[in-house]
Amino acid sequence: MSEEKKCLRCGGSNCEPGTIQSSGRVSFHARNAKFMTTKTGAIPVNANICVDCGCVELVGDADKAKSLIKAS
């Protein structure tokens, strides 16, 4: 059973998943990422659009971000 996604702006439940693209996938690069790692520094970004109001929510891969950011 999939989790129902609620819009952050209007509270509607008519959301559609997708990606934001330019000439390639859009990714996030953490400012405090470890310098030497076997993983790339790119954190994938996925998106959801509310079909009712047009709000776009961006969601990054939190597990990959945690693995790249230096421990404080």
Share in percent of the chain as helix, strand, coil (round to 5): 10, 35, 55
63: which 2 tokens?
């597990």
pLDDT confidence bin for 71, thresholds 50/70/90: very low
19-48: average pLDDT: 74
Cβ count near 7 (within 10 Å): 20
Quote the mean pLDDT of the chain. 81
